Structure 1
Amino acid sequence: MDIKQIQELIKFVSKSGVNEVSIEQENFKITIKTNQTPTYVTASVPAPVAAQPQIAQQATAAVPQAEAPQVSAAPATTDAAAANYITIKSPMIGTFYRSSSPDKPAFVNVGDEIKAGQVICIVEAMKLFNEIEAEVSGRVVKILTDNASPVEYDQPLFLVEPI
């Protein structure tokens, strides 16, 4: 793996919203981690070769160029409010969409009543559009994620007041 491939991998990871990627080959291992802060790259090479430490240094130097994508954080709620609402969370990493296409209306809006099993959003992962269904019946109180933004596994998407 050369420095250009490493830089492309860093750019891909920073844009995709993935937290960690590990690649291991016969004599080379690289791990790239992101946590809403600068990307960290660690590379280890079992056989000492003069050119490979330079690659590791260059890869580390390239880190500031790749910034982790910013994901809007859910606002803090009080314990009393949290006790009254059910949080619907993302079952996977991907991109959150409120509607099936840009020209279609949103599946749900704040104030809408939903039923268990009703499609409430789509999470795209690796070009597959996964319909996310409500786990509970209730009224949508708040949508915690912006449309077309990356989401992590178990990230809160909706607050629902059970009926």
Structure 2
Amino acid sequence: MDLKQIHDLIKIINKSNIGEISIEDKDGKVTIKQKEEPVVTVATPPQQVYNVAPAAAPTPVVVPAPQPAAAPAPAAPKADNLITIKSPMIGTFYRKPSPDKPNFAEIGTEITPGKTICIIEAMKLFNEIEAEISGTVVKILVEDNSPVEYDQPLFLVEPN
């Protein structure tokens, strides 16, 4: 088999759906394989469908709250005067500068403008997020090492 015949075979294979062909004659054996394109599969999560009966009175559903394993939480301050600190970017939320260091802010921590309260990693860059207000952290709304969205609430702060 000469080179021109091999080139003609390659053209035929490329135009067809044949994945591989082997030809053997007195001069030798030739195997031609088509290059496989990577297959990309996109999976979407199943969507929940709710059936609502028209003009039916809603039945209240009571879901018991999970019982805390530790001591009961302190009484929450009035929600009307709390300030929400939100994420300025999309990324991964970290409460401490490294795994062996203490958290930047805990519940009850006094914060002041300019004090680092967390880190958000975005595109391999670690961005220190600083407080813009003075106050006391009353609730941390995001788990350590979890993804956050732009403008997602991170902390609730009671201003001083």
How many residue pairs end up in the alignment? Answer: 94
Distance across 2 between alignment mates of 1:145 and 1:63: 25
Matches within 5 A, 1:47-86: 59=42, 62-64=43-45, 81-86=78-83
**Deviation per residue, 1:110-131 (Å, 9 max, x gap):** 0010001110000000100000
Matches within 5 A, 1:35-114: 59=42, 62-64=43-45, 81-114=78-111
Paired amino acid for 1:99: K
Higher-Rg member (1/2): 2
The alignment's TM-score, normalised by the length of structure 1, stands at 0.54
Paired amino acid for 2:101: K
**Post-superposition offset of 1:82:** 3.3
Distance across 1 between alignment mates of 2:152 and 2:118: 14
Distance across 2 between alignment mates of 1:131 and 1:64: 33
What's the C-alpha RMSD, in Å, of the aligned pairs?
Answer: 1.9
Q: Percent identity?
A: 67
- Pair 1:119-2:116 in alignment: yes
Paired amino acid for 1:130: N
The alignment's TM-score, normalised by the length of structure 2, stands at 0.55
- Which has more helix, going by share of residues? 1
Distance across 1 between alignment mates of 2:145 and 2:101: 14
Distance across 2 between alignment mates of 1:81 and 1:152: 26
> Where does residue 18 of structure 1 map in the other structure?
none
Q: Which runs of 5+ in 2 are unaligned?
A: 1-36, 47-76
> Where does residue 147 of structure 1 map in the other structure?
144
Q: Which runs of 5+ in 1 are unaligned?
A: 8-58, 66-79
**Deviation per residue, 1:91-114 (Å, 9 max, x gap):** 000000000111100001000100
